Amino acid sequence: MERSAVVIGSLNMDIAVTVERLPAEGETLQGVGLVEAPGGKGANQAAAIGKLQTPVRMIGKVGADRNGAALLQSLEASGVDTDAVLTSSGQPTGVALVTVDRAGRNHIVVVPGANGELTKDDIDSRADIIEQCDMIVLQLEVPLETVAYALRKAKALGKTTVLNPAPARKLDDELLQFVDFLIPNEHELQTIAELDQIDEQSIERAARLFGEKGVGALIVTMGERGCCYADRSKIKAYPARKVNAVDTTAAGDSFIGGFVAGYLASRDADTAIRQAQIAAAITVTRHGAQSSLPTRQEVEALWQVRTNSTA
Here the CATH number for the domain that contains residue 134 is 3.40.1190.20
In a domain, 207, yes or no: yes
Per-residue pLDDT of 65-100, as tens digits, reads 999 999 999 999 999 999 999 999 999 999 988 898
Q: Identify the pLDDT of residue 244.
A: 83
CA angle 7, 294, 31 (to 5 degrees): 95
User: Average pLDDT for residues 211-217, to the nearest whole number?
Assistant: 96
In a domain, 140, yes or no: yes
In a domain, 29, yes or no: no
Residues of the chain above pLDDT 70, percent: 97
In a domain, 196, yes or no: yes
In a domain, 87, yes or no: yes
Domain span at residue 150?
5-11+39-93+115-310
Q: How many CB atoms are located within 10 Å of the residue 259 CB?
A: 32
CA distance 307 to 122: 44
Q: Identify the pLDDT of residue 184.
A: 97
Q: Identify the pLDDT of residue 108.
A: 82
In a domain, 21, yes or no: no
Instruction: Indicate if 253 belongs to the active site.
Output: yes
- Residues that constitute the known binding site for K(+): 247, 249, 283, 286, 288, 292
Q: Identify the pLDDT of residue 295.
A: 93
Residue 255: alpha-carbon gap to chain centroid: 7
CA angle 172, 175, 180 (to 5 degrees): 125
Contacts of 43 (CB under 8 A, 6+ apart): 7, 9, 10, 11, 12, 58, 60, 71, 74, 75, 290
Q: Specify the number of domains making up the chain.
A: 1
In a domain, 34, yes or no: no
Q: Which amino acid is at 177?
A: Q
Task: Say if residue 309's pLDDT is above 60.
Answer: no
Predicted TM-score of the model (pTM): 0.91
Q: Identify the pLDDT of residue 261.
A: 98
- Residues that constitute the known binding site: 12-14, 40-44, 141, 185, 221-226, 247, 249, 252-253, 283, 286, 288, 292
Q: Identify the pLDDT of residue 199.
A: 86
| Active-site residue identified among 134, 180, 231, 253 | 253
- Residues that constitute the known binding site for ATP: 185, 221-226, 252-253
Task: Say if residue 262's pLDDT is above 90.
Answer: yes
In a domain, 289, yes or no: yes
Lowest mean pLDDT among 194-198, 220-224, 233-237: 194-198
Task: Say if residue 192's pLDDT is above 50.
Answer: yes
Lowest mean pLDDT among 162-171, 218-227, 241-250: 241-250
**Whole-number mean pLDDT of the chain?**
93
Lowest mean pLDDT among 11-20, 112-121, 244-253: 244-253
Task: Say if residue 304's pLDDT is above 90.
Answer: no
CA angle 53, 146, 185 (to 5 degrees): 60
Q: Identify the pLDDT of residue 311.
A: 46
User: Average pLDDT for residues 239-245, to the nearest whole number?
Assistant: 85
> Please, is 81 exposed, middle or buried when counting C-beta atoms within 10 Å of its C-beta (0-12, 13-18, 19+)?
middle
